[in-house]
């Protein structure tokens, strides 16, 4: 709403295009939920590939699909984080630090995939990648504000 010279108020066209950003607590809940999903997926990947390592099994196509799923989830989290930061939400640890952790989290698994060989050590690399992603997720939610916006 803007003031009209006659003393009345009229609605601005910009108010329709750019609605107010959601409550900070809602943003924290979205980031927190994504953190849980990405962390669980990464830990499941680490356990699955760790079992293959313990059994002296090479990395299989199903492991690669699991790594791709974790990467897509981390990418979704990065996109949501960028949208939240660009809409005015400020992570307590700083927007640059938050986005750096989000980008790093998204790049860990593809970097690990590029190193994966079809040997037992490929499964070990995938296990390490899943554990690193889970650890980065914990840090990511701390930088956002500990889940409390």
pLDDT digits (tens, 9 = 90+) for 104-121: 998 888 777 766 677 888
**DSSP alpha helix (H) spans, the chain:** 13-17, 24-54, 61-86, 95-115, 120-144
Show the CA angle centred on residue 111, arms to residues 57 and 94, nearest 5°: 130
Give, for 2, the enclosing helix (H) or strand (E). strand 2-3
Q: Is the pLDDT at 134 greater than 60, yes or no?
A: yes
Buried b (16+ CB within 10 A) or exposed e, 47-74: ebbbebbeeeeebeeebeebbeebbebb
pLDDT band (50, 70, 90) for residue 149: very low
> Which pLDDT score is estimated for 23?
55
- pTM comes to 0.76
Q: Give the SS3 label for residue 91.
A: coil
Please give the biggest Cα pair distance in the chain: 81
> Which pLDDT score is estimated for 15?
47
């Amino acid at each position: 709403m803007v003031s009209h010279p006659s003393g009345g108020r009229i609605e601005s066209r910009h108010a329709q295009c750019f609605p107010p950003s959601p409550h900070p607590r809602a943003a924290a809940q979205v980031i927190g939920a994504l953190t849980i999903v990405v962390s669980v997926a990464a830990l499941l990947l680490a356990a699955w590939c760790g079992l293959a390592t313990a059994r002296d099994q090479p990395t299989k196509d199903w492991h690669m699909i699991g790594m791709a799923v974790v990467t897509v989830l981390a990418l979704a989290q990065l996109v949501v984080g960028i949208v939240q930061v660009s809409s005015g939400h400020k992570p307590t640890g700083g927007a640059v630090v938050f986005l750096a952790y989000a980008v790093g989290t998204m790049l860990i698994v593809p970097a690990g995939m590029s190193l994966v060989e079809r040997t037992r050590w490929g499964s070990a690399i995938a296990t390490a990648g899943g554990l690193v992603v889970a650890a980065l997720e914990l840090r990511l939610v701390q930088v956002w504000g500990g889940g409390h916006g």
